[in-house]
Amino acid sequence: MFTLGLIGLLVRRNIIFILMSLEVMLNAAGLAFVVAGSRWGAPDGQIVFIFILAMAAAEVSVGLALVLQIYHRFKTLDADAASEMKG
Amino acid sequence: MDAIFYISAAVAILATFLMLTRMNAVHALLYLVVSLLAVALVFYTLGAPFVAVLEVIIYAGAIMVLFVFVVMMLNLGRQASLQECEWQRPGMWVGPAILAAILIAEVATVMMRGHTRIPEAAVVGPQAVSLSLFGPYLIGVELASMLLLGGLVGAYHLGRRTKEKRESQNNVVIGADAARSAPGGDLVHAGSDRTAGSA
């Protein structure tokens, strides 16, 4: 699933899809953590997954606010539109 | 229980793959929600019911809803779907697919070379998780709350859209507060242009 998210991240140009592929990657990494925790019978995997969840929530909120700003300025959701560094 | 694990894992992978290939953003979001629900079921079969419920409530219930809100707010329409069709040429998928296939092959060989027995899934209930959260991982909880606060403030600040002040508008409207000028400008103060007297 991580590689699927990575492919999606690299291929799509729409920023929304890039963020969605990022979510898939985060979820896949969390899944690996929970599997590891379940294998050793320790709650640490689930705890790390809770932290990943909190981090993903914060990242999604800030990322979507940035997407709104980009859409407001460039009038498009193309990730290549924001390729200039000049403010 | 094993059948449930394999079926839901297959559903998760299939839903993720379908999500990547959609042209419409809302369709892709729905497939992503399905994928998250399937992963929650996988968590349950692994003996982590607390995390399964958390995934459904927070990930599929809050984060994805946020995505849906933003996509609906952007109001992309049919023209954006056609634009996606133009952007996605089939030749684009070859490069990343090759690299990702190499990665999958690496992971598969590492897994084949390691432990060959299927790990038994110990049920780690919510009590053990919460005891561990309040004990050794307390610092992590505090840091996560600070991160969420930072994310909240950042999202609020980035979500504001202040228009440039138009001088003529300020001269015409008598007694209007500048923060209540245009509903379309500031997302946070959008509804505050209704005064009590203008019901």
Span B128-138, pLDDT tens digits = 677 766 777 77
How far are the Cα atoms of A30, B50, B138, B162 from residue B130, in angstroms, in the given order? 18, 10, 10, 43
Q: Considering only alpha carbons, which residue of chain B is nearest residue A3?
A: B100
Distance in Å from the first CA to the final CA of chain B: 60
For B120, other C-beta atoms within 10 Å of its C-beta total 9
With pLDDT > 70 as the criterion, what percentage of chain B qualifies? 62
CB contact under 8 A, B59 and A69: no
pLDDT per residue over B19-39, tens digit each? Answer: 888 777 788 888 889 989 998
pTM of the model: 0.70
Give the CA distances from residue B14 to residues A1, B18, B48, B68, B97, in Å, rounded to whole numbers and listed in that order: 10, 6, 23, 21, 16
DSSP state of B173: S
Interface ipTM above 0.90: no
Please count the CA atoms within 13 angstroms of the CA of B54 that sit on its side-chain side: 23
Q: Name residues whose C-beta falls within 8 Å of residue A15's C-beta, 6 or more positions apart in sequence.
A: A67, A70, A77, A78, A79
Q: Mean pLDDT: which of A17-26, B88-97, B118-127, B189-198 is highest?
A: A17-26
The residue type found at B77 is G
Q: Could you give the CA distance from residue A57 to residue A50 in angstroms, rounded to a whole number?
A: 11
Q: How far is B120 from chain A (nearest CA, A)?
A: 6
**B93 with A7: Cβ contact below 8 A:** yes
What does residue B116 show for φ and ψ, rounded to 5 degrees? -95, -15
Q: How many CB pairs lie under 8 A apart between chains A and B?
A: 178
- Confidence band of B176 (pLDDT split at 50, 70, 90): very low
How large a percentage of chain B has pLDDT more than 90? 1
pLDDT at B79: 65
Q: Please, what is the average pLDDT of chain B?
A: 72
B132, A47 Cβ separation under 8 angstroms: yes
Give the N- to C-terminal CA distance of chain A in Å, as an integer. Answer: 36
Q: What is the CA radius of gyration of chain A?
A: 16
| Least CB–CB distance from A43: residue in B13, B29, B132 | B132
State the Cα–Cα distance between residues B199 and B192, nearest whole angstrom: 13
Q: Which tokens sit at A3?
A: 């590689």
CB-CB contact of A5 with B16 (8 Å): yes
- Do residues B60 and B88 make contact, with C-beta atoms less than 8 angstroms apart? no
Task: Please give, rounded to a whole number of angstroms, the shortest distance from the CA of A83 to a CA of chain B.
Answer: 17
Whether A62 and B29 lie within 8 Å, measured CB to CB: no
Q: Does residue A36 sit at the B interface (CB-CB below 8 Å)?
A: no
